[in-house]
Structure 1
Amino acid sequence: MQIETERLIIRPFRAEDEPALYEYLSDAEVVRYEPYHPMSMEEVRAEAVRRAEDKSFWAVCKKNGTLIGNLYFDKGDLNTWELGYVFNRRYWKQGYAYESAWALLDLAFREWDVRRVTAMCDPENTASWRLMERLGMRREGELKQNVYFFCDEEGNPIWKDTYEYGLLREEWKQR
């Protein structure tokens, strides 16, 4: 299955997406708020294969086929799905994340009978939480020191805060 918008094709990942995936997963600025460090080519090779087998990852491509980023959309408990996104820095601030996330949410709420969607981000990631708000999601809370991805030199967790956003199907349909 794939989703088409005016400028984009949103489709399942393929193992051959590796070079374009490497371009953005190896970029420290792109993965700054992610739970992993910039990836090596070898790590991205394995990640491309994994994503090709994982139906939760969606490749976001320009109409010419160029992979520019990805969406993550995974079902949790109580028909609540989690949305995430990571885009190549060369394509930031051009509306691609909004366009692709909007298309996926619209499909999910209208055709897949999704009840609720959540998304989370670091409060310092202003572009991410602004995107969630532009999509019509509401900030439901700020979780203090609720997660860590890395440790300091002594092995102590580097705790992070998280904004959590939510959106219900009926809210989407009222837009």
Structure 2
Amino acid sequence: MTLMVQLVVDDMMLITDAYVGWPGSVHDARVFRNSPLYHDVEDGHKLAEHQYLIGDTAYPLRSWLVTPFKDNGHLSQQQRRFNRMLSGKRQVVERAIGHLKGRFRRLRELMFHDISQICQFIMATCVMHNLCVLSDDDVSSFINFDDQDDMELENIFADATGGHVRRNALVAQC
């Protein structure tokens, strides 16, 4: 059995939000739309006006969630540059996940059968990961270089107007 783990990571690789418990077969965007984070931010909580999250193309474009331009072969040079910059920022999340899996290899094969115990264990490893980051733990011997599937799935959300405004403002800064 696999479970989805939704993580929000800052630029220092600290996990600032974690949501666990959906089956691994559920699409990232569906998990996100049902997460407390999504509802809190949609309702105007959690993020200051100048703050935003970065996601891949599987996530909805919002004023508070910036995603790359879908490359249909007609992107401008500025849009391609923006996508590269955004991809670089998103790599922090991939590194944090690699560090988490490397430090806590038991995550690969948990012996628990109770979903609530599995979720608690995963959340505990997220807390311990943060303690390691804050303690400047040397992770070089633990890094796990897993290939992450970056699925380009259709955006299932509507009304991305605010997201277009935010993303275009960021593109203008590139």
TM (normalized to structure 2)? Answer: 0.27
Structure of greater relative contact order (alpha carbons < 8 Å, 6+ residues apart): 2
By percentage of residues, which structure has more helix?
Answer: 2
By percentage of residues, which structure has more strand?
Answer: 1
Which entry has the higher C-alpha Rg, 1 or 2?
2
